[in-house]
Structures are given as structure tokens and as C-alpha cells.
């Protein structure tokens, strides 16, 4: 028996960067059978078409696709808001000591549970999660991620130099621990595995070679890491490897392909952008983090010109929270601050927060919009009475306006329910 979800509904079936328009239904109905979307239209039409379906009506509410976070760190809730430090000092003084605490499996379990709940409460249904440096912490994370029912891709973080000493691995250990986690968790239910060297700064060629070996052995694995985040970091990588650019340190080990997601890319060369595009790899744009730790202004126009795919990442804890709405707003503001600014509207932000993320993560035939046959991942948004959002929406004169209000003002307190494959996960 199909189920009808009635509210004001919006999604972006095609990229607004390629001329796609916002699809909106002021009094809309999303029809779900089992875990899939089978129809979407105005409620009046749906009501006559499916007279026997059970209807869930949400008054003064919006239904949007589940939000997609393409870069977020599981161990880093404790470091959100660690002020006054740029990347390399922020890592050394605040972040790596916090990550070392996950050696204790009990702490890892507790943080995994809290972290996954925070994703759901913020409306994120799909995430590429940067893991922890300990295999036990990742085992616990995958157990909890499986229970959460969210769509999670994650992996053991690898590094063997310039880290907190407790976080070091060796090539042999990196290989055997990763392999055991891959065998157990990759493609289990909604989980997938991503090979995850922390960044070239903290990886020897031997560790990166292990990453390449794993990708060659399991060709459908994902790959994620950091790239081109801060000027000092880029300089260090070029010196360490004697490399012409940052990307080359990954390319050398065959790590860049259509399942690779590179976080930040704030300072890429044109050559790197061309090579990322040629490999059909994706970038995770993390605007709140890029501002908070002082990385710089992401050049969205250049990524579009080079046809590099990108989605949004909260990058908790360099980022300032889990809200992908806030990342959308921040991405808008970052474009407004640049000379060659793009003319972004709310439909672009919705696309970046949903379908673009799905494209970056290779999940766009499964989720990211409300096309018939996709899985029913969606959020129900209801502004709190008397909130600025509720008041502001009363003045809205179009769907685009309402959506702009949502990106500007809606946060976790406006998210009433969150569905993955048609089932509530809150």
C-alpha cells in the first residue's frame, strides 16, 4: 500500500548550474511504496490517483530531499569552536590530541552514537565520514552507523608521520586493519568503505602505496582525503615529496578516480583542476571550515569552468556545526565576497545540499532528488512557532524565496522528522 506525505515540496531534479529549475509544489504529495518514491505531484491530483493510500499531512511544513554531507569528521565534535589557530597548529594543539582519545573503545562508541544522532537531527541522511585512526574505533563506528540506518561511507584514517604519536600506523598495520574493516563493512546494508589517508603531510609514500593497493584489490571502494586547504600546508607537501603539486602526491599511487572525494581544494592550480575533472573525481566544499580555520575563499567558478563535481561538507570540527543549510548559506556568502562571483540563488544551494552531494558520492541514481524510483530519503521541516524563520516565511512571495529563507534561517530546531528509505531515523 503506498503512503502519501503531504506538505510544501521542493527539489532540484537537474543542476541549476546547467539550467535546471527548482521543482516546487505548494500543496504537494510525495508517494512512497516500500522504500521508493513512486510519484510526486500536487496533492489534489495525487489524492484522486491513490484514493486508498494513507496520507501523512504536515501543516505549515516543507519536504526536501535528505541533506548530504560530503566531508565530516566523526571524532571532532569536541573541537568545534577551537578558536585562534590555523590548520597545522589547530591539528597539533587541539584536534589530534582529541582524536587520540578514541583509542579507548568505550569513548569511541559513545562519540559514534552522539555523532550519528547529530547528523540525523540536522537533516543529513547521507554522509562521507572521515573516521578515526584506531581500528577498534572504526569497528564501533560501523556498528553504530549500521544501527543508525543512515547512508554512511567511512574508513580508517591512516598516517605515519607528523601526527600525535598515538595516531601512527605502519604500512603493514594499515593494510591488514583496513582489509579486515573492508571485508566486514563495505556494501553492508547502507554502509560503504572509503580508503582514508589523513593528508599527504602525515603520510609517507609507503602508506599512500598501501591505499593504492587496497583500491586495486577492491575496485568499488571509495577514496577520500584532504587537498589544497592552506598555503603553508601546500608548501610543506611540495617540499616533503619534491612534488610539482599536491594532487600529484595522490595521483602517483593511483588514488584519484571517479570514486575519489577530495576535501577543501581552496588553492588548486588550473592543472590540478583539469586533472581532477579528467579523473571524474569530486571535491567536498566546506565553507564554514574554510572561514573558521582561515583557509580561504573557494573558487566555485573555476570548479564549474573545469567541470569538477563538488558537494557541500560541514567538516565538523574545523567547520562550525552539522547544518548543511548553514554550509549552503556560507557557500553563498563566500561567492558574494569574490570578484568573479557567481549569481547563486536558493535553487543552487538546494542542489549543492542534495543532488550535487549525491553525484559527488556516486549515489545520484539512488538519492539526492525526488525522481521516481529513487529511495525515499527526505526531511520534514517545520519552523518553530514565533521563530524568525516562521515570521520571515510569511513574507515569502515565491518558492525560491521560501527556500532562501530556509537556507538562511532553518537549523536543527526546524527539522521535525527525517526519513531514509521511507523510514524515520530520528
Q: Which residues bind ligand GUN (CB under 6 A)?
A: 73, 87, 91, 95, 198-199, 226, 229, 289, 315, 318
- In the complex with Fe ion, the residue whose CB is nearer, 40 or 157, is 157
User: Shortest distance, CB of residue 285 to ligand GUN, whole angstroms?
Assistant: 12
Which of ligand GUN, Fe ion, none does residue 198 bind (CB under 5 to 8 Å by kind)?
A: ligand GUN
Q: Which is nearer to ligand GUN, 227 or 418 (CB)?
A: 227
Half-sphere exposure of 122 (CA within 13 A, CB side): 26
Nearer to ligand GUN, 311 or 318 (CB): 318
Minimum CB distance to ligand GUN, residue 358 (Å): 23
Which residues are within 8 A (CB) of 258 and not within 5 positions of it... i.e. 6 or more apart?
Answer: 279, 280, 281, 362
Grid coordinates of 86: 590555523
State the binding partner of 253 from Fe ion, ligand GUN, none, CB within 5 to 8 A by kind. none
What is the phi/psi pair of residue 244, to 5°?
-70, -35
Smallest gap from Cβ 274 to Fe ion, in A, equals 24
In the beta sheet, which residues pair with residue 28?
Answer: 7, 42
Site for Fe ion in 143-202 (CB under 5 A): none
Nearest CB to Fe ion, comparing residues 22 and 263: 263
229 binds, among ligand GUN, Fe ion, none (CB under 5 to 8 A by kind): ligand GUN
- Contact by Cβ (8 Å): 63, 29: no
CB-nearer residue toward ligand GUN: 91 or 291: 91
Q: How many residues lie near Fe ion (CB under 5 A)?
A: 2
Q: Which residue is nearest to Fe ion (CB)?
A: 315
Q: What, of Fe ion, ligand GUN, none, does residue 95 touch, CB below 5 to 8 Å by kind? A: ligand GUN
Q: Which is nearer to ligand GUN, 70 or 289 (CB)?
A: 289
Q: How far is the CB of 314 from ligand GUN (least distance, A)?
A: 11
Residue 264 or 382 having the CB closest to ligand GUN? 264
Give dist(CA 203, CA 159) in Å, integer: 5
Q: How far is the CB of 49 from Fe ion (least distance, A)?
A: 46
Minimum CB separation from ligand GUN for residue 366, in Å? 28
In a 3-state reduction of DSSP, which class is residue 158? strand
Report, in Å, the least distance between residue 206 CB and Fe ion: 23
Q: For residue 260, what is the enclosing H or E element?
A: strand 260-264
Pairing between strand 260-264 and 282-285?
A: parallel
CA distance 292 to 80: 10
Nearest-approach distance from CB 137 to Fe ion, in angstroms: 17
Does an H or E element contain 285, and which?
A: strand 282-285
User: Is there a cis peptide before residue 289, judged by omega within 30 degrees of 0?
Assistant: no
Residue 272 touching Fe ion (CB under 5 A): no
Query: Would you say the C-alpha torsion 85, 138, 155, 197 has a positive or negative sign?
Result: positive
Distance in angstroms (rounded) separating the CA atoms of residues 179 and 175: 6
Pick one of Fe ion, ligand GUN, none as the site partner of residue 150 (Cβ within 5 to 8 A by kind).
none
198 or 275: whose CB is closer to ligand GUN? Answer: 198
315 binds Fe ion (CB under 5 A): yes
User: Considering the rule CB under 5 A, would residue 229 count as an interface residue with Fe ion?
Assistant: no
Which CB, 211 or 415, lies closer to ligand GUN?
211
- E strands in 22-164: 23-33, 36-42, 54-65, 67-73, 124-130, 151-155, 157-158
Q: Which residue is nearest to ligand GUN (CB)?
A: 318
Is residue 222 classed as helix, strand or coil in its secondary structure?
strand
364's contact among Fe ion, ligand GUN, none, with CB below 5 to 8 A by partner kind, is none
Report the nearest approach of Fe ion to the CB of residue 133 (Å): 14
CB of 73 to ligand GUN, least distance (A): 5
Q: Which is nearer to ligand GUN, 265 or 289 (CB)?
A: 289
The order of strands in the sheet holding 423-424 is 36-42, 23-33, 3-11, 54-65, 378-381, 415-420, 423-424
On the 0-12 / 13-18 / 19+ scale of CB atoms within 10 A, 329 is buried
d(CA 282, CA 267): 15
The β-bridge partners of 193 are: 154
Residue 1: CB atoms within 10 Å: 8
Binding residues for Fe ion (CB under 5 A): 263, 315
Amino acid at each position: 500500500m503506498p503512503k502519501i506525505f503531504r506538505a510544501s515540496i521542493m527539489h532540484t531534479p537537474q543542476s541549476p548550474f546547467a539550467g535546471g529549475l527548482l521543482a516546487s509544489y505548494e500543496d504537494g504529495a510525495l508517494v512512497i511504496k516500500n522504500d521508493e518514491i513512486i510519484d510526486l505531484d500536487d496533492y489534489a491530483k495525487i489524492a484522486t490517483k491513490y484514493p486508498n493510500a494513507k496520507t501523512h499531512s504536515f501543516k505549515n511544513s516543507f519536504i526536501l530531499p535528505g541533506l548530504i554531507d560530503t566531508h565530516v569528521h566523526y571524532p571532532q565534535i569536541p573541537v568545534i569552536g577551537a578558536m585562534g589557530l590555523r590548520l597545522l597548529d589547530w591539528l597539533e594543539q587541539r584536534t589530534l590530541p582529541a582524536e587520540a582519545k578514541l583509542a579507548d573503545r568505550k569513548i569511541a562508541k559513545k562519540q559514534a552514537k552522539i555523532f550519528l544522532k547529530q547528523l540525523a537531527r540536522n537533516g543529513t541522511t547521507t554522509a562521507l565520514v572521515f573516521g578515526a585512526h584506531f581500528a577498534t574505533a572504526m569497528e564501533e563506528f560501523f556498528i553504530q552507523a549500521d544501527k543508525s540506518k543512515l547512508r554512511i561511507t567511512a574508513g580508517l584514517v591512516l598516517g605515519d608521520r607528523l601526527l600525535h604519536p598515538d595516531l601512527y600506523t605502519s604500512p603493514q598495520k594499515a593494510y591488514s586493519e583496513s582489509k579486515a574493516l573492508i571485508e566486514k563493512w563495505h556494501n553492508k546494508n547502507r554502509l560503504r568503505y572509503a580508503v582514508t589517508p589523513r593528508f599527504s603531510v602525515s603520510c609517507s609514500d609507503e602508506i599512500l602505496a598501501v591505499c593504492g593497493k587496497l583500491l586495486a584489490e577492491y575496485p568499488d571502494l571509495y577514496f577520500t582525503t584532504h587537498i589544497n586547504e592552506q598555503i603553508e600546508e601546500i608548501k610543506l607537501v611540495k617540499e616533503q615529496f619534491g612534488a610539482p603539486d599536491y594532487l600529484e602526491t595522490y595521483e602517483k599511487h593511483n588514488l584519484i578516480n571517479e570514486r575519489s572525494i577530495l576535501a577543501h581544494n581552496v588553492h588548486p592550480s588550473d592543472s590540478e583542476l583539469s586533472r581532477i575533472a579528467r579523473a571524474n573525481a569530486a571535491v567536498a566544499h566546506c565553507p564554514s571550515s574554510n572561514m573558521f580555520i582561515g583557509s580561504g575563499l573557494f573558487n566555485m567558478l573555476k570548479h564549474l569552468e573545469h567541470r569538477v563535481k563538488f558537494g557541500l561538507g560541514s567538516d565538523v570540527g574545523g567547520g562550525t556545526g552539522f547544518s548543511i543549510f548553514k554550509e549552503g548559506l556560507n557557500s553563498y556568502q563566500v561567492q558574494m565576497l569574490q570578484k568573479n562571483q557567481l549569481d547563486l540563488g536558493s535553487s543552487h544551494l538546494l542542489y549543492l545540499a542534495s543532488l550535487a552531494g549525491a553525484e559527488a558520492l556516486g549515489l545520484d541514481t539512488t538519492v539526492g532528488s525526488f525522481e521516481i524510483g529513487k529511495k525515499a530519503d527526505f526531511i520534514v521541516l517545520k519552523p518553530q512557532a514565533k521563530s524568525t524563520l516562521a515570521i520571515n516565511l510569511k513574507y515569502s512571495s515565491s518558492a525560491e524565496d521560501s527556500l532562501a529563507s530556509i537556507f538562511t534561517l532553518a537549523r536543527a530546531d526546524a527539522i521535525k522528522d527525517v526519513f531514509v528509505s521511507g523510514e524515520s531515523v530520528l
